[in-house]
Structure 1
Amino acid sequence: MEKYNLRQAFTLIEILVAATMLSVLFGMTYLLSNTLFGVKKIRSYETAIMLANEAVEAVRAARSSDLLRLPPGKKADPKAKAEKDSLVADFNSDQDEYDDTVCGFKPEIKVGNVLYKRTIEIIDMESDSKSLESPVKTVRILVEWKDGEDATPLTYEIITAHCDLR
C-alpha cells in the first residue's frame, strides 16, 4: 500500500480562502458590468429628456399662430394632418429645407447606436364658455426608442400647456 504525503494536499483553510477570493473577484466583475449597463441606460434616458425638452423650448419660442397655422376661428382636429409650415408639421417631418442644419428639427434622431423617434402633438382645449375661444393648448411630446442591449421599447412623454394671450 502506498503512503500519501500529507504535506502536498490543500488544507480546508486554503480552500476556503481561495473560494472567498474567487467569490469576491466574480462579484466585483458582476457589479462593474451591471454598473456600466446602468450608466448606458441612464444616458439613453437623459438623451430622451433632452430631446423632449428641446421640443418644449421650441413650442415656447414659437408664436401661437405658428403652432398649428390655423385660420382664425378654425378648430384644430387632432386626427387631421398638421397644416403646412406649422411647428407641428416641421417637427413631424424631415422634408423641410432647414432640417439638415442646426436649426432644423428631425422626427428621428440617431445618437450613438440608438434611434430616437420624437413626435409632437398640439390640441386645442375646449372652452367652458361657448362664446369664447379657449387660448389654451395641450402640448404632448413623445420620445420613443429601443434599448440597445435587449431592444426593449422605451418611451418618455411630456404633457404641458401653452396659452395664447393675444
Structure 2
Amino acid sequence: MNIYKIEQDFDNYKFFVFKEDDKLHKDRLNFKGQALTNVWKGFSLEFFRDKRKKKDKRSKDFDASCYFSGCLIVNKRTSLLLSEKLKDQIEVLPVNVDGNTSDYYFINVLNTVKALDTESKSNEEILKMMRDNNGIFNKGNIDSYIIFRDSLFYSNYYCTDEFIDFVKQNSITGLKFRCAGIAE
C-alpha cells in the first residue's frame, strides 16, 4: 500500500499563505494532533501574490489549499464532506481570509500514529528515507486511517489511496499527492 504526502497543486491553483501580521501560524509547527477547539483563534490568510508576475493564470476556484505542510485549508463544502467521512478523526476550525470567517476552514488531523518504521535506523537513514520519498510505514499502526500524522514527522499530513479516491470522487480541487513510501 502506498502512502502519500498531501501537497498543493501549484501548477493549476492559487493558494493561501499567512498574512504578515498572523502570529498564530508559528504555533502550527507545534500542532501534533492535539485538539485545538478550545484554544483556536484562527489563522489569518490571503492569496499568494507573486510580485514578479503581472498576471497569474492559476485558478482561485479551488476546494483545498495545502501550501504549508500540515496546514490543510478547505472550503465549506469540502469541510462538510471531510467531517462526514472522518468524523472524530479531524477538527474543522474557521480561518480568516480577508476578514471572512465563514468560507474556509483549517483541517486539524487528530490521528497521530507511529507510522514510519524507524526501528534499527539512524537519524541520517530516516531523514534520507523521507527526503527521497522512500519511507517504510507500519501498515499495522496506520490501520483504518486514510489520513494521519506520523508521531515523528507530525507537521506533515499523510494519506492512503482511499483518501485520494475520496478526493477524486468528490471532485475536490487544489491538491496533489506525492508518494512518501509504502506501508508494509
TM tier, smaller: under 0.3
TM-score by length of 1: 0.26
Structure with more contact order per residue of length (Cα contacts < 8 Å, sep ≥ 6) = 2
Larger helix proportion of the pair: 1
The structure where strand makes up a greater share of residues is 2
